[in-house]
């Protein structure tokens, strides 16, 4: 935790405050009389399970949500933000958990969208380029200003969001899950940036599920549960376990499920010499039934691209894939599904779910033959099958006809997993399976993945959280520079050694197998 006055509460030191805040979304009460003070030039963290109210509170500060009752104060004066632009004028800028970029525009256009400097009616592009270079240098981000956002992966889009927030003159920056799509070295970099912001006079409201990140960077931690504040105080007095207990209202085991041995049967998936020009090459591995195989590496390692090729999202330029020993050539995710390979995509909002459609439709979309006859949907059968699966996955919902966007992030992710395995695929390609969910939902999803594997499914797991891959996989392929540089058994290698491989492996030779 950084040094500082974690418990200063003098009014002159309070930049933002809420008193008696209440917010309802239909029948769901998101905030119940919340009181929080944010001290200037500190990092104030909000933690809690999905649905605890922390993101809603952050959105009240940033003007994205208007409370039903209570008071928001900036610099001690009551204010009412009707939209984020009102908050920006008061010096409050947010980086949203759900990315809000315009995919068709270049990176630099997204960064300065709405705050373009103009001369004689024309955008001052040279000054924008200079400001963009200044910001990216400050943050240590390697991003081309003229790359289309739609071509960026989730981690790079997150970086653009952060640059975009800092391009506005902000005294209070609300960061909602800023590290959720970043790998270890990028998280370290981001936390350093947060510290520099505070050192330069900016205040940060840090909304996160990543408990260790919170403790590493925060002065004060406020824990929320069921729309209420259950504790608030110095981060130095907390540990991940104490925070998890406060969040959940019970003692929680943060460990991974016990690995159950995979079958010794023939491989269900075989990848041989797979390559994509200048992105990855000569990738070879097998996945057996009841086995979780992890691909571990930094964002530019090629791991996500290899997983995309296996799932039919990307067409490799060379190599071969076999399902049950039979060569296949996949042209699309739908084609992959016909061959028994299903994808759990990395972004539930952009790639996985129809947020405004009912839960039942999201689970069965693309699999109508299972719940229809002669072209007619069999609603009762759909309800039985979907309801049974969602009960097994412990999805908390009002009904199968509720819209997906009424669910918490953790429950949305479970619906996405249910959709991905509804047809009982032979292989599940799980990309960032716990992105943007809290510690309780993570534990539940870990158990579900373990159970799916134990029931006979082969799983190819890719995640920027190396600890997640290390804790779940039976075997791990370490990738660097588009190549598999090592295969390790997590039972035979310490986590620190695993991280050393991921962060420092040589592109040309690797460190050998463990």
Write phi, then psi, for 81 (nearest 5 degrees). -90, 120
478 pLDDT exceeds 90?
yes
121 pLDDT exceeds 80?
no
Write phi, then psi, for 268 (nearest 5 degrees). -85, -30
Please, which pLDDT band fits residue 335 given cuts at 50, 70 and 90? Answer: very high
204 pLDDT exceeds 80?
yes
Helix (H, G, I), strand (E, B) or coil at 429: strand
Please give, one letter per residue, the 3-state secondary structure of 2-67. CCCCCCCCCHHHEEEEEEEEEEEECCEEEEEEEEEEEECCCEEEEECCCCCCHHHHHHHHCCCCCC
| 211-269 residue pLDDT tens | 888 999 999 999 998 899 999 999 999 988 888 788 877 655 557 899 988 878 899 99
Q: How far apart are CA 175 and CA 93, in angstroms?
A: 9
19 pLDDT exceeds 90?
yes
Question: Which has more pLDDT, 511 or 134?
Answer: 134
Helix (H, G, I), strand (E, B) or coil at 319: strand
Residues contacting residue 38 through CB under 8 Å, at least 6 positions apart: 14, 15, 16, 17, 44, 61, 172, 203, 205
Please, which pLDDT band fits residue 472 given cuts at 50, 70 and 90? Answer: very high
- What is the pLDDT averaged over residues 76-81? 95
Q: How far apart are CA 502 and CA 286, in angstroms?
A: 20
pTM: 0.60
Please, which pLDDT band fits residue 10 given cuts at 50, 70 and 90? Answer: low
* Pair of tokens at residue 2: 């950084």
Closest C-alpha among 223, 198, 211 to residue 2:
198
* CATH 3.40.50.300 domain locations along the chain: 11-248, 269-504
Task: Average the pLDDT over each of 297-301, 320-324, 416-420, 424-428 and give the range with the smallest value.
Answer: 297-301
Q: Which CATH architecture has domain 269-504?
A: 3-Layer(aba) Sandwich (3.40)
- What is the pLDDT, as a whole number, of residue 507? 34
386 pLDDT exceeds 60?
yes
- What is the pLDDT, as a whole number, of residue 61? 97
* Pair of tokens at residue 442: 């993570």
* Pair of tokens at residue 33: 């009389």
Classify domain 11-248 by CATH number: 3.40.50.300
Let me know if 9 is exposed, middle or buried by CB neighbors in 10 A (0-12, 13-18, 19+). Answer: exposed
| 351-369 residue pLDDT tens | 888 888 889 888 887 666 6
Please, which pLDDT band fits residue 299 given cuts at 50, 70 and 90? Answer: low
**Residue 184: HSE in the Cβ half-sphere, 13 Å Cα cutoff:** 17
- The gap between the terminal CA atoms of the chain, to the nearest Å, is 35
Q: How far apart are CA 272 and CA 285, in angstroms?
A: 7
Pairing of β 483-488 and β 475-480: antiparallel
């Amino acid at each position: 935790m950084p040094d500082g006055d974690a418990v200063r509460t003098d009014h002159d030191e309070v930049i933002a405050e809420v008193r008696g805040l209440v917010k309802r979304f239909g029948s769901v009460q998101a905030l119940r009389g919340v009181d929080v003070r944010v001290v200037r030039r500190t990092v104030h963290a909000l933690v809690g399970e999905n649905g605890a109210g922390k993101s809603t509170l952050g959105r009240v500060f940033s003007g994205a949500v208007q409370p039903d009752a209570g008071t928001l104060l900036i610099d001690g004066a009551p204010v009412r933000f009707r939209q984020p632009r009102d908050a920006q004028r008061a010096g409050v800028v947010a980086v949203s958990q759900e990315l809000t970029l315009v995919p068709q525009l270049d990176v630099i256009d997204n960064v300065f969208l709405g705050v373009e400097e103009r001369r004689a009616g024309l955008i001052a592009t040279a000054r924008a380029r200079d400001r963009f270079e200044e910001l990216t240098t400050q943050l240590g981000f390697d991003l081309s200003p003229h790359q289309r956002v739609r071509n960026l992966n989730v981690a790079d889009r997150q970086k653009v969001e952060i640059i975009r927030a800092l391009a506005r003159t902000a005294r209070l920056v609300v960061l909602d899950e800023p590290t959720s799509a970043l790998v270890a070295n990028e998280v370290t970099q981001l936390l350093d940036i947060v510290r520099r912001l505070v050192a330069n006079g900016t205040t940060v409201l840090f909304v996160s599920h990543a408990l260790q990140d919170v403790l590493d960077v925060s002065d004060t931690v406020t824990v929320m549960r069921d729309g209420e504040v259950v504790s608030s105080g110095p981060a130095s007095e907390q540990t991940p376990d104490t925070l998890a207990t406060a969040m959940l209202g019970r003692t929680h085991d943060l460990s991974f499920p016990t690995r159950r041995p995979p079958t010794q049967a023939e491989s269900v998936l075989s990848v041989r010499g797979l390559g994509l020009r200048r992105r990855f090459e000569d990738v070879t591995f097998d996945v057996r039934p009841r086995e979780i195989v992890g691909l571990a590496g930094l964002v530019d390692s090629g791991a996500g691209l290899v997983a995309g090729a296996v799932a039919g999202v990307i067409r490799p330029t060379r190599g071969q894939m076999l399902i049950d020993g039979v060569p296949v050539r996949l042209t699309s995710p739908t084609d992959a599904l016909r061959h028994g390979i299903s994808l759990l995509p990395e972004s539930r909002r952009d790639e996985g779910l129809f947020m405004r459609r009912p839960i039942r439709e999201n689970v069965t979309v693309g699999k109508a033959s299972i719940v229809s006859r002669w072209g007619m949907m069999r609603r009762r059968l759909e309800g039985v099958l979907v309801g049974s699966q969602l009960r097994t996955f412990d999805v908390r919902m009002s009904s199968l006809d509720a819209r997906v966007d009424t669910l918490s992030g953790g429950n949305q992710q479970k619906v996405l997993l249910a959709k991905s395995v509804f047809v009982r695929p032979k292989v599940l390609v799980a990309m960032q399976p716990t992105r943007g969910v809290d510690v309780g939902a993570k534990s539940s999803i870990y158990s579900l993945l373990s159970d799916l594997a134990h029931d006979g499914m082969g799983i190819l797991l890719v995640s920027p959280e190396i600890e997640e891959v290390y804790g779940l996989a039976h075997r791990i392929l370490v990738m660097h520079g588009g190549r598999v540089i090592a295969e390790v058994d997590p039972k035979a290698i310490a986590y620190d050694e695993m991280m050393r491989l991921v962060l420092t492996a040589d592109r040309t030779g690797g460190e050998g197998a463990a």
